[in-house]
Copies of this chain bind each other. A is one copy, B any other.
């Protein structure tokens, strides 16, 4: 595996397989049955030049669970970059302070530019419309884990990606990773104007997968294994799209009716979160809360073992984890969420 994790494009099948295996070995620690201190003394620079509580805390907690310490930075105005400092300088300076760096930045390519200046491992935590590889990895890990639980296999699975497939960077990265496995049947459903870029469709098809585009969810999905829903981000819309889209968005909403009427009882629902739970938001329906098919919280939980696996692999301590463990001494609830099933 390369020195940094900037894009899923750099990951070969064997790299992904390795990360999935290491993540599985992290489960006892991520689930708070065991404690490890393998990174005790190491410092993570967790640089979020764009807002993201969830992803920031997930990386932070994952590094802490390995025994390390974290220096957080949030916002852009607080940064010397506002005074004209180049990404090169910021990168080289931070690299003298930290053993690993996670960076989120609004500009596509900025994290790669940052990484070019340093030999300290850099993880892309999202660069605007660009990449967010750890999300795709935890999504794939979730599918793999859910399939093991359900005695299913990635080979021959049917996966539905729906919502905003044009701007949703998580689905772009995920579909690339999925294309390393399979062969799969992938169905894409999005409103007009928000279709998956054709280059990605071609890539997936060229790797031997069956990929279909549809414009409606009103089909038979009785053999569906996974629905991966994404939010239709209205802030991306032009005025024109806004007009033509009036009243449409509800048609692309995943809810209990859709699952009950069109899918199988073993279809699981994923979403990169956050979802908009306000009335009329037409995002993934809250009426699925507490439904065992809703895998979205198992999915976010999986961010911890996968990010631990990424850190451990890049910092080359993955082989030390099994020996460096002791039992947790504090209270851990047997079930994390009150509605978990």
Contacts and interface: CB of A to CB of B under 8 A. Distances in A.
A58 interface: yes
Contacts of A52: 78, 80
A39 interface: yes
Query: Could you say how many copies of this chain the assembly holds?
Result: 3
Given A61-B98, A96-B300, A96-B303, A339 B78 contact: no
Q: How large is the interface on A (under 10, 10 to 19, 20 to 34, 35 or more residues)?
A: 35 or more
B303 A61 contact: no
B338 A116 contact: yes
A84 B289 contact: no
B84 A276 contact: yes
A3 B67 CA distance: 27
B120 A336 contact: yes
A83 interface: yes
A238 interface: no
B337 A84 contact: no
A315 B338 contact: no
Contact of A330 (B42, B53, B75): B42
A97 B330 contact: no
A306 interface: no
A70 B46 CA distance: 14
A95 interface: yes
A149 interface: no
Contacts of A118: 336-338
Given A84-B283, A117-B337, A121-B331, 20 more contacts: A32-B99, A38-B329, A41-B328, A42-B330, A43-B61, A53-B78, A57-B71, A57-B73, A60-B71, A72-B72, A81-B274, A89-B275, A92-B300, A93-B273, A93-B297, A95-B336, A96-B301, A119-B335, A119-B338, A315-B330
20 contacts: A3-B333, A32-B42, A39-B330, A41-B65, A45-B57, A57-B73, A61-B98, A69-B69, A75-B78, A84-B278, A84-B281, A84-B283, A85-B275, A89-B277, A90-B274, A97-B304, A116-B338, A118-B336, A120-B336, A316-B330
Contacts of A339: 92, 117
A289 B89 CA distance: 9
A148 interface: no
Nearest to A88: B289
A45 B58 CA distance: 10
A320 interface: yes
Contacts of A54: 80, 93
A64 B72 CA distance: 13
Contacts of A71: 56-57, 60-61, 64, 70, 72
